[in-house]
Amino acid sequence: MNTPKMPKEMRILAPHSFRERLSRRAVLKAGTAAAGLAVVVAACGGDDDGGSSGGDSGGDALGAQASGDWSRVINKASGTLAMYTWGDYNDPDIVGALAEAELGATMKVDYYGSNEDLITKLASSNGNSGFDIVVPTGPYVPQMIEKGLIQKFDKSLLPNISNVDPSYLAQAWDPGNDYSVCKNWGTTGFFYDTSVITRELKNWQDFLDACMNEASGNCSMLDTGPNMCGVWFWSNGHDWNTTDPALLDECEAFLVDEFAQHVKAFDSYPSTAIAEGAYSISMAWNGDARQAYYRIQDAGGDPTAWKWVLGAPETELWMDTYCVAAGAPNPEAAHAWINWELIPEISIKDLQYHGYNTGLKSMSQLISELAPDLEYGDMIFFTDNQVSTFRTQEITPAIDRHVDILNKMKAKAGG
């Protein structure tokens, strides 16, 4: 670290109390402590430092600091910070010891399984749920604003929002980013065992076909109605947000009467079951499919036999967002944490954990500088051509129909 300004800011950002905390808890876990310190050092670097890339500042990728113009403001917080999010969705350090060390807030994380569960929980507690940060998927944001379940950001506390790629800001559900900011986004494709399905599969049509032939009785689908129906719409060149009853009927006729009997499971996180050997083809979100490679390796299988294919000709783009819950007991800490998470080094550390694109600008440069060893990058980052085929979901009355179709499929598959 050859930043001239560093010592002065070090004093500000790593005060006495912080060092104490380090000695108390983190020294027992030397690895974490070192990483934590390194990030603070990195985060303090001056904006105008064009300096060297990660390689020569020590082996740990986190020790490196991204070059270029980044905002790295860290606001201190205190007390407890409660987060309500999807399972295993952040690096445990970032929602644990590291956050406590750098921000001063103790984190407490709970998990939900669907956006609707989140909404029910918040709506039924009159702003008394005790959660500070919640992580709804983009299209659910308007509903949550309308119901008063999330509160407006204090943007002055979120200066690091300038680190986010503008193409992932100002989404249709919250054009001003007044309530939400991108946590990460992902897409949908499929993952298959080339030793079982020997032909090359290229698109959703091939996927459906393989499920009904070679992989019949051995395939898994995402356990959400819209995604399940989406496959049929995408493969047939329709808009997956359509509310046209005729198209929905056609979709139902195929999925329920012809397709369902071949499905082994409706599983939204198939990576573990894939490694256990339960499926030979799975519809999956990109991050989970990427995890599957590691799980297969853990289980002593052969990861090279498995292939990831992005859904085509069209597929989904979903984005999960950070919001501050209405009635949050500790909104300052919530803002401080979200802002901290938008610092490139933290964001990339998180990205390496969950395998989804966190949507910062100059992403490819960030990765080459901060995480040069990142594997399976093509499952996290997509070309502009690919991104142009991504479609976001809209909340329409058709969702009921989607769930109904999924239920009928389940009944049929179980029969």
Partner 1 sequence: MTAAVSAPDRRRWRGPKFLLAIPSIIWYLLFFAIPIAFVVIYSFGTKDVSRLLPVDLSNLTTKNYADVFDDTFFKVFRATLRIAILATALCVLIGLPVAYFVAFKVSERWRAIILAAIIVPSFTSFLIRTVAWRIPLAPNGTFSKWLTDIGVVGEQGIQLLQTQTAVQIAIVYNYLGFMILPLFVALDRIDVRMREASKDLGAGRVATFFGVTLPLAGPGIIAGVLLTFIPMCGDYVTATVLGGAKGNMIGSMVASQFSQAQNWPLGSAMAVLMIGAVLAVLIAASVIYVVIPRAIRLLDPVAQRLRAARHERSAAAVAKLGSEPARVSRVEPMRMAMSIWTVLVLVFMFIPIGLVVLHSFNGGVSFTIWTGNPSNKWWGELFDGGSTFALALRFLVIVGVFAVAKRLIAARGALPNRRLNWLGPIGFAVALVVNGLITDWFRDVFDFVSIGDAIRNSFLAAFGATVIAVILGGLSGVALARRPGTWSKIFMGTVFLILVTPEVMDAIALVTWFQRVSDVPVLGYVFREGIGPFSGGIAKLWVGQSLYASAVVTLIVRARLSGLDESLEEAAADLGATPARAFRQITLPLISSALVAGGLLSFTLCLDNAVISTLVSEAGSTTFPVALLGATKSTIKPFWGVGAVVLFIVTMAALVFVARVLRRSGESSSQIAATLAGS
Q: Does 117 bind partner 1 (CB under 8 A)?
A: yes
Q: Could you say which residues in the range 41-80 bind partner 1, by CB under 8 A?
A: 80
Q: Write the single-letter amino acid at 16.
A: H
Q: Cβ of residue 188: shortest distance to partner 1, in angstroms? A: 16
State which residue, 70 or 190, has the beta carbon closest to partner 1. Answer: 190
Candidates 15, 46, 55, 113; binder of partner 1 (CB under 8 A) is 113
State which residue, 161 or 273, has the beta carbon closest to partner 1. Answer: 273
Cα(293)–Cα(174) distance, integer angstroms:
35
Stretch that binds partner 1, among 40-48, 103-111, 240-248, 374-382 (CB under 8 A): 103-111
Q: Does 114 bind partner 1 (CB under 8 A)?
A: yes
State which residue, 164 or 379, has the beta carbon closest to partner 1. Answer: 379
Candidates 60, 200, 276, 375; binder of partner 1 (CB under 8 A) is 276
State which residue, 139 or 344, has the beta carbon closest to partner 1. Answer: 139
Candidates 225, 230, 311, 355; binder of partner 1 (CB under 8 A) is 225
Q: Cβ of residue 337: shortest distance to partner 1, in angstroms? A: 14
State which residue, 69 or 276, has the beta carbon closest to partner 1. Answer: 276
Candidates 47, 60, 69, 88; binder of partner 1 (CB under 8 A) is 88
Q: Does 259 bind partner 1 (CB under 8 A)?
A: no
Q: Does 31 bind partner 1 (CB under 8 A)?
A: no
Cα(257)–Cα(90) distance, integer angstroms:
39
Task: List the beta bridge partners of residue 265.
Answer: 220
Cα(74)–Cα(339) distance, integer angstroms:
7
Q: Could you say which residues in the range 298-337 bind partner 1, by CB under 8 A?
A: 298-301
Q: Cβ of residue 249: shortest distance to partner 1, in angstroms? A: 15
Structure tokens at 339: 């802002």
Q: Cβ of residue 388: shortest distance to partner 1, in angstroms? A: 29
Stretch that binds partner 1, among 50-58, 233-241, 371-379, 403-411 (CB under 8 A): 403-411
Q: Does 410 bind partner 1 (CB under 8 A)?
A: yes
State which residue, 1 or 265, has the beta carbon closest to partner 1. Answer: 265
Candidates 220, 235, 286, 339; binder of partner 1 (CB under 8 A) is 220
Q: Cβ of residue 186: shortest distance to partner 1, in angstroms? A: 13
State which residue, 65 or 286, has the beta carbon closest to partner 1. Answer: 286
Count the residues of the shown chain that bind partner 1, applying the rule CB under 8 A: 81
Q: Write the single-letter amino acid at 213.
A: N
Angle formed at CA 231 by CA 230 and CA 237, multiple of 5 degrees: 85
State which residue, 86 or 204, has the beta carbon closest to partner 1. Answer: 86
Pattern of binders to partner 1 over 281-300, x per CB under 8 A?
Answer: -------x--x--xx--xxx
Candidates 2, 17, 23, 128; binder of partner 1 (CB under 8 A) is 128
